[in-house]
Amino acid sequence: MDSIVSVIIPVYNVEKYLWKCIESIQKQTYKKLEIILVDDGSSDKSPSICDRYSEKDSRITVIHNKNKGVSSARNMGIEVSRGEFICFVDADDWLPKYSIEKLVNCITESTADLCQGGRRAITFYPKVKRDSVKKSIVNCRSCKSLAEWINYKMTGEVWGKLYKRSIIEENHLCFGTAKMFEDTIFLLKYIKYCSKVVSTDEILYFQNKLVLNSAVTKYYPELGNWTMEWLEAYIGLFNSSNDMPPYDEIRVHISGAIGRTYEHFIMNCSQEIALQKMAELKKELKVFSEEWDMPAKKSMEYLYDEILALDPLVVYNKMYDCNTKKKYLIKMRIKSFFAPIVEFFVYKVPVLYR
């Protein structure tokens, strides 16, 4: 008998895109679905759209909630779900019709605990290829193999993947309060309890990159704390093992996390605030380094010594080009101008991007 798959969709002010997302799931070749729409206090027509679809499809459950953010909406979806498997879909994205069937077959045939599918980003630059997932099967007990998979093959978003609800429930996993990096933090915490993860290179998810009001362009003073939560989740994968991944693999991941955080501060703050936040993060990293008491302590000390040796002002000047923000603003204006045109072809012309 086919297992039920719970599809959790957080919904917030996406009236233009929601119908395409819902219908792409309704038309899946895998029919044993539970579709959970969590309206996160939308102020547009999204709530009524959700209700209309639920009236016509008994597989759809709608939850209306006050606005608490995407993490809260996903947690609420997990709480009410009853499927053996769970997958997350963003309400402005959509799936090819065979996605869930392929994910279920992949995870069951490989006896894995997590299956990751390929994705294609729908952007303003159609010639740019963004299909980054490679086919692989990884034994999570091999720290070296797992670290390589996380660094080079894992995508950091929770969507486009299939999870076992039993792992989430038994280990009390949920999304935290972070508004950036929340997907990666959840993923790393989930992987800690996996024996095997598998990836397929088939395109199983279409990501809408046309939406301009991304959280990435907003300044969050708490970002340093969320970065530390990310690093703690990553280190937590290996803290009970003597078979640590090579130092270079640890360095790639942690340096990448810190680099993304520094870049966010630089692009979204004044120089004074950016330098202040970078210095604060540096202090937190030092404390974390000193408290680290696990098999990889020596390697971690070397890594943090490298990072802590850098002066925030030197990093700022190296990463910041005086024309960067100007180019960025011009790019946003161009996107704003062409957005309605591109969206017409993506959302109004039915033969495209099925």
Domains in the chain, ordered, with CATH?
A: 5-215 (3.90.550.10), 219-320 (no CATH)
Predicted confidence at residue 333, as pLDDT, reads 59
* pTM for the predicted model, two decimal places: 0.84
**Band of the pLDDT at 350, cuts 50, 70, 90?**
very low
What is 310-347 written as a DSSP string?
S-HHHHHHHH--TTHHHHHHHHHHHHHHHHHHHHHHHH
Nearest partner of 36 among 61, 53, 59, judged by Cα: 61
pLDDT, one tens digit per residue, over 219-241 is 788 888 888 888 888 888 876 66
Q: Dihedral, CA atoms, 308, 312, 318, 320, nearest 10 degrees?
A: 140
Decide if 14 contacts 91 (C-beta within 8 A).
Answer: yes
Q: Which of 14-18, 253-257, 330-334 has the lowest mean pLDDT?
A: 330-334
Q: Is the pLDDT of residue 351 over 50?
A: no
Average pLDDT for the chain: 82
Which of the 8 DSSP states describes residue 12?
S
Predicted confidence at residue 345, as pLDDT, reads 53
pLDDT, one tens digit per residue, over 187-208 is 999 999 999 999 998 999 999 8
